[in-house]
Amino acid sequence: MDTLLEGGFADPVLQSQTAFRAILDALANPGTPQKLLTPPLISRSMSPELVSTLLTLTDHDTPIWLDNGLARDSAVTAFIDFHAGAPIIAEPGRAAFAFASAADALPALDQFNLGTQEYPDRSTTIVLAVPALSGGAPLVLRGPGIKDHLHISPMGLPGDFVAQWAANRAIFPRGVDLLLLADGQVMGLPRTTRIGEGH
């Protein structure tokens, strides 16, 4: 129970506001990592970056999806129940936010809520912990919030990520948004971003 009580932010209002600003900045500046305030580790299966994002974005009105490893970890589910009260659901297509500890635990992007033409903002925001935000296969980003183009190389993305993302981008204004987390940072990939193989 001590871990449960201590695992949140020490100053919930101020720290969640700081983390929220980092997440907004990450989505407004796609591909540019932002420093993310992180609380203490609550479980080996859930990184501090995932915890920070979950505490910042969720409450009792936001249904969330967890990958199998997180959903089976009683420390994680008890922590969420205590600190956020967010309902945990099994169907990715009903989630406001989805949290995954690795890409291989993540369903295809089109399995999540893609929003509707009338309410595209009701789509799922996927929060994915990756090993690092650099050192992986090179990708090129273009689109709003990016001057000309930007090169990124996050590690641990799904093998067919570029193809999945192209399909996601093609249904704009519908589609998911993606937050990548590693090393105390958050990188945003909003649905407006075009992503191609790097050279």
pLDDT at 3: 46
pLDDT at 31: 97
d(CA 109, CA 98): 11
Q: What is the CA radius of gyration of the chain?
A: 16
Which residue intervals of 136-199 are DSSP H helices?
Answer: 161-170
**In this structure, which CATH number among 3.40.640.10, 3.40.50.11310, 3.40.50.261, 3.60.21.70 belongs to the domain 2-191?**
3.40.50.11310
Which residue ranges of the chain lie beneath pLDDT 50? 1-5
pLDDT at 2: 42
Name the 3-class secondary structure at 109: helix
Name the 3-class secondary structure at 87: coil
DSSP string, 122-135: GSPEEEEE-S-SSS
Please write the tens of the pLDDT for every residue from 53-106: 999 999 999 999 999 999 999 999 999 998 899 999 999 999 999 999 999 999
pLDDT at 102: 96
Q: What is the enclosing helix (H) or strand (E) of 3?
A: helix 2-6
In this prediction the pTM is 0.93
Domain boundary assignment for the chain: 2-191
